[in-house]
Amino acid sequence: MKYVSTLLMLLPILLSCSASRNTTSSYSAGPAGAAPDGGRRSWSVSVFRDGSPMITGIMIADLRDIYSGGEIAATMVNEFGVRAFDFEASRSLSGKVKVKLLSPMKALSNPFIRCMLRKDLKGILSLGGLLETSEGDYPYRYSSSSGMEYVFSLSGM
């Protein structure tokens, strides 16, 4: 029990290190409600399949100049602190999103699941999606064609 409480106290530090390991340029980190043109944001995520809950966790993202061809480096961690996957995304001025999944856990390495995740992340990060949601519009919901529903809430990290 002693180790569990220590791990829970260190979890925000470990998550921030994991999210920033793919960064190569300098940027200024901001709070969870930071402006969408840069900084670090975090969300609580719940994933449902056909109405029944599947998984909950945290998504932490570093946003770098996202409106002018910038990039997003992010990590998704479940409620037990296990990293599900990292991803990098870029968005053009027209709103087209390119997503690259990095180091998915073994359960997510199936080609069909990887394709579905990439497609869902493209929809979540597209223009008018999660990054443009204001504080009063949470929880943000995204429903995919495969029966998955993603619910995002602002995280207090």
Please tell me which residue, 45 or 69, carries the higher pLDDT value: 45
Q: DSSP 3-state assignment of 54?
A: strand
Longest dimension (CA), the chain: 51
Q: Which domain holds residue 91?
A: 2-154
Determine contact, residues 97/125, Cβ cutoff 8 Å. Answer: yes
pLDDT at 29: 34
| pLDDT of 37 higher than 60 | no
- Closest to 145 measured CA to CA, from 113, 118, 120: 120
How many domains, the chain? 1
